[in-house]
């Protein structure tokens, strides 16, 4: 009986996630093409096949629907795995810090699982609506500070150590560049593969110094 109940719960949760994803997908497309004021919540719900009440079970408004899942926080298990790979007692920063940061971003991207078309609609919606752009910028700053804090924790760095901020700015450049290529017309390469290629190119022109064996 217990397994049957768990299975039913899993099905309900999967259906909720699918409905939420559909609302976000359509909200992004409509906003990209018409702007936030160019369509109603009723139109959005009709296209997805849900009621207005259902919409408000997930979002407080169209702007929230465009952003969908909270992308400013990473899954707790991903965070702990990333932090555990560091050595806070070493005097040097981990040689694998940047690759591990990119792995974290790739895993987070898989959780978002947005297609190139949907991602392009999100970008277009943000560029079209100042309200969305302001929120996107704010979320980006929050995410940057959060990841800097993770790097400081993983590497045993003092708050404000410029190496943590520099590492995350490199990550930002890799993610943004890969994102632009991901939504480029004709692209058939996955976001994860584009991240890997960008990381490889970055390490070729800016190799990280290995740890000093005497400090391990």
> What is the predicted pLDDT for the residue at 74?
77
> What pTM value is reported for the model?
0.81
Query: What is the domain range of residue 79?
Result: 70-209
**CATH code assigned at 196:** 1.10.357.10
Torsions phi, psi of 87, nearest 5? Answer: -130, 90
Residues 153 and 118 in one domain: yes
Number of domains into which the chain is organized: 2
Q: Give the residue-averaged pLDDT of 17-38.
A: 94
Residue 72's pLDDT band, with cuts at 50, 70 and 90, is low
At 19 the pLDDT is 93
- The arithmetic mean of pLDDT across residues 36-52, rounded, is 96
Is residue 125 domain-shared with residue 160, that is, in the same domain? yes
Task: Compute the average pLDDT of residues 26-40.
Answer: 96
Q: What is the CATH number of the domain that holds 1?
A: 1.10.10.60
Say how far apart CA 152 and CA 181 lie, in whole Å: 30
CA atoms 151, 156, 157, 163: torsion sign? negative
Smallest CA-to-CA distance from 66 within 139, 128, 126 is with 126
Contacts of 36 (CB under 8 A, 6+ apart): 62, 63, 66, 129, 131, 132
Domain final position from 53, 68, 83: 68
Same domain, 74 and 12: no
Give the domain-ending residue among 20, 47, 68: 68
- Considering the chain, what is the average pLDDT of its residues? 88
Residue 3 has pLDDT above 90, yes or no: no
With a pLDDT cut of 90, the percent of the chain lying above it is 71
Instruction: Please determine, for residue 192, whether its predicted confidence score (pLDDT) is greater than 70.
Output: yes
How many residues in total does the chain contain? 216
């Amino acid at each position: 009986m217990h397994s049957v109940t768990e299975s039913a719960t899993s099905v309900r949760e999967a259906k909720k996630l699918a409905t939420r994803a559909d609302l976000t997908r359509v909200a992004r497309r409509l906003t990209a093409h018409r702007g936030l004021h160019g369509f109603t919540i009723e139109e959005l719900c009709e296209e997805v096949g849900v009621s207005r009440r259902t919409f408000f079970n997930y979002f407080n408004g169209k702007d929230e629907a465009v952003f969908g899942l909270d992308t400013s926080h990473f899954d707790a298990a991903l965070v702990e795995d990333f932090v555990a790979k560091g050595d806070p007692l070493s005097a040097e920063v981990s040689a694998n810090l940047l690759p591990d940061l990119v792995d974290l971003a790739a895993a987070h991207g898989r959780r978002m699982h947005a297609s190139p078309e949907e991602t392009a609609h999100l970008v277009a919606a943000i560029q079209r609506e100042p309200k969305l752009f302001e929120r996107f910028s704010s979320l980006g700053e929050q995410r940057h500070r959060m990841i800097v804090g993770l790097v400081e924790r993983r590497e045993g760095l003092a708050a404000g150590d410029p190496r943590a901020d520099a590492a995350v700015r490199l990550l930002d450049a890799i993610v943004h560049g890969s994102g632009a290529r991901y939504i480029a017309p004709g692209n058939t390469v996955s976001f994860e593969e584009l991240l890997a290629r960008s990381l490889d190119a970055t390490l070729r022109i800016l190799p990280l110094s290995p740890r000093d064996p005497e400090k391990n």
